[in-house]
Amino acid sequence: MEAKNRDYGYGLAVKLARKQLAQADISGQCQRSGARLLPDQKAVAVDFLDQTYQISLPDGIVTQGDKEAPVRETILTLHYFLQAKGTSLTSDPITFKELPEGSGYYPTFYARAIKPLVNRFGGKPEEMGKAAVVLNGRRAGYGDASVTIDAFKNVPITFVLWRGDSEFPPEGSILFDHSISDYLPTEDITAICQMISSQLVKAAGEAGPKL
C-alpha cells in the first residue's frame, strides 16, 4: 500500500509539473535556472548532480542520455526548472531547520541524509572529501571535513562532519545557501540530500582501501 501511494504521489507530481511547463515562460526560466535552451531538439538542458538532463518541450519528458530519467530525477529536474527565481547566491549558510517546515521534518531528514554519512565517515571524515570526487565536490571550510556539491547550477549543498572524541560522538550537518528555497521546495531538498548521501557512501565503498 505504501509503495502504491508513493507511486501515485510521484505520478501526480509529474502530471502537475508538466502542466505548469506547458504554461511556463521557457526563455525566462532558462535565464533564472541556468538551463540551456536547445531549439533544434525542442528541449532545455539542465545540469543535475554532474549529469545533463533534457526536458522536452512542451510535453516535459525528462531524459538523461538516450533513456527516460527515473521518476524521482524527473520530478526534481522539472521542479528546479519551474521554481527557479534567479536569486543570486548569498554566501549566507543556513541549516535544514531554517527552511520552510524544516524544523518539524528534521528528524526524518537527519535519518535519511545525515546519519548515513556519520555512520560511514564519522571515524575518518577526510574520506568523505575523497568520495565526493565522483560528484565534482569541492572542499569547504567547516567542521573537521566538509565538501560542497552543486546539486543544480544555483543550488550548492555543503556536507559537514565532525570527528568526535572521547566525550562526544561523531556528528554531521548539511548547509544550504540562504536562497535555496527560491529554487526548490523543502521536500525536494530532502530528496536531493538523501541521493547525494547515498552516492557518497556508495563511492566510498567502491573505492575501498584506496581511500
pLDDT tens by residue, 121-133: 998 999 999 999 9
C-alpha cell at 181: 528555497
The segment(s) of the chain belonging to CATH 3.30.310 are 93-210
Those residues of the chain that have pLDDT short of 70 are: 1-6, 206-211
Whole-prediction pTM: 0.91
Sheet containing 43-48: order of strands: 36-38, 43-48, 51-56, 62-64, 67-68
CA nearest 134: which of 76, 198, 64, 184? Answer: 198
Q: How many CB atoms are located within 10 Å of the residue 134 CB?
A: 17
| The predicted structure's pLDDT at residue 209 | 38
H-only helix segments in the chain: 2-22, 26-33, 71-83, 102-109, 115-121, 126-131, 186-207
DSSP structural state of residue 182 = G
| The predicted structure's pLDDT at residue 34 | 97
Domain formed by 93-210, architecture: 2-Layer Sandwich (3.30)
pLDDT tens by residue, 76-87: 999 999 999 999
Place of cell 572529501: 129
Which residues, in sequence order, are CB contacts of 23 under 8 Å at separation 6+? none
Q: Which amino acid is at 57?
A: L
- CA–CA separation, 211 and 130 (whole Å): 7
| The predicted structure's pLDDT at residue 2 | 56
| The predicted structure's pLDDT at residue 210 | 38
